[in-house]
Amino acid sequence: MIEVRPGGRRRIDRVLAADYATDLENLPLTTLRERRDEAAQEETDLSYLRRLLHARIDIVKAEQQRRSSGGAASVVDQLATILADNALGPAAGSGRHQPLEPSRAGEYRRRAEALVGNANLSDVSALSDAQLAETLDSFREQESSVSLRRRQVQAVVDAFNAEIARRYAQGTASVDELLASERRRDDQDGDAG
């Protein structure tokens, strides 16, 4: 389960803190953008973890299906097909374009693996039916938790985007200011390198 700790130091703790997305109309535009970008990175990381969990759910379900149908081919032999079927299926997410890369991919991969304790998904055929069912339940519970937090973070991103859009619509923010700010940041990044 992904818990949010009030006053915690993790990014998700900050992004989902009660005061993170309040009084937006009084925040400077640079702060709005910084917080929006931080929340967008958290959404990207949660989306990555969710995809990892979906892949593991698909593997366990494929092994259960193989057993119930009496199939002879191992799940390992079918792995490319199992994972491709998930990738080609209908989208079930928010439909958001995410230009960011996961920042904590290794951490989330380890977290997904730790969820099943001693269950080794590289050889799901070695697990008993009960272990498979328990593993599937664990992955589904974790996926549900990740999805909930992801939706909460998306609401934060949406709040920042709405305030930024409002400022542009009302003329209190300008594209020229944004471009100047981007140039300054690029110049600073170039000087630091």
The domain containing residue 75 runs over which residues? 29-89+100-125+153-193
Give the pLDDT confidence score for residue 91 in this predicted structure.
45
Kindly state whether residue 162 falls inside one of the protein's structural domains: yes
Query: What's the pLDDT score for residue 118?
Result: 44
Chain mean position to CA 155: 14
Residue 85 lies in a domain: yes
Whole-model pTM: value is: 0.75
Look at residue 21 and tell me if it is in a domain.
Answer: no
Alpha helices in 117-128 (DSSP H): none
Q: Is residue 137 part of a domain?
A: no
Ordered mean pLDDT values, 10 residues apiece, the chain (193 residues)? 90 96 94 94 91 89 90 74 60 54 62 53 82 92 94 97 92 70 71 66
Residue 160 lies in a domain: yes
Count of domains forming the chain:
1
Tell me, yes or no, whether 37 lies in a domain.
yes
Residue 141 resides in a domain = no
The CB-based long-range contact list for 94-99 (8 Å cut-off, 24+ gap) reads: 94/154, 96/43, 96/154, 98/40, 98/43, 98/44, 98/47
